[in-house]
Amino acid sequence: MVDCDYPSDFLIKAISNNLLTTYADASTFLQKFSLENEDQINVMADIFYNSNTLFNASCVFLKKNLNKIEKWVPVSNSSTNYFLFLFIIPIIFFLILLIPISVILVILIIFLIYQKRQRKKKLKNAPKENPVTILFTDIQSSTSLWENDENLMKKTIEVHNEILRMSLKKFFGYECKTQVNLLF
């Protein structure tokens, strides 16, 4: 597993005074709880490669890393430890992993919206009703011109395309395909 320069996340913990006084074990857990990027990546890998749910992947991680959890959970014979282990810890994992996944989804949505706008922009002058005129152009004897002077032919193609594009703009035309078999 590679970290891929995933930036370190600082785990922000909010503990209320009510929690401190009412649920001392939960308070101790939250003060000691910490995750490394590798922990998050392992849980995400379990979700991706094993098609596990986020909750189940968190539980699998917890079962595999009991030594870490023992450091987080206060030593006590009360049933609070089981409550933390079964409910609180997976929920915290869920929330911590939800943030990177949400960021990825937001970036993907923004990218898709951008692509849609670009397509719309490119199709602005596309014909929408009949009649449609299709124009094909070619440079006469282009094969022999390519053989005689390749550099001059590249410049000729550029000039040819620029003239056509200026005309398309002037008459609200639409360039749908350009095919140039350049040898460079």
Per residue in 65-106, pLDDT (tens digit) is 888 877 777 665 555 555 556 667 777 777 777 777 888 888
Q: 95 and 158 share a domain? A: no
Domain of 140, in residue numbers:
127-184
Are residues 25 and 85 located together in one domain of the fold? yes
| Same domain for 150 and 115 | no
Q: Which amino acid is at 157?
A: I
What pLDDT does residue 114 have?
93
Query: What per-residue confidence (pLDDT) applies to 4?
Result: 47
The pLDDT, as a whole number, for residue 91 is 74
**Are 145 and 69 part of one and the same domain?**
no
Total Cβ atoms within 10 A of residue 161:
14
Note whether residue 27 is domain-resident: yes
CA distances from 126 to 88, 129, 154, 168 (A): 57, 9, 28, 11
Residue 8 resides in a domain: no
Query: pTM of the prediction?
Result: 0.33
Q: Are residues 33 and 46 in the same domain?
A: yes
Is the domain of 171 the same as that of 108? no
Residues 66, 56 contacting (CB under 8 angstroms): no
Q: What is the mean pLDDT of residues 148-176?
A: 86
Question: Which tokens is 99 given?
Answer: 């943030």
Are residues 60 and 117 located together in one domain of the fold?
A: yes
Average pLDDT over residues 37-53: 81
Q: How many domains does the chain have?
A: 2
Distance between terminal CA atoms of the chain? Answer: 41
Residue in the structure block whose two tokens are 């898709």: 112
| Tens-place pLDDT, residues 98-120 | 777 888 888 999 999 999 998 88
Same domain, 27 and 113: yes
pLDDT of residue 75: 61
Q: Is 171 in the same domain as 97? A: no
* Within a domain: 1: no
Same domain, yes or no: 152 and 89: no
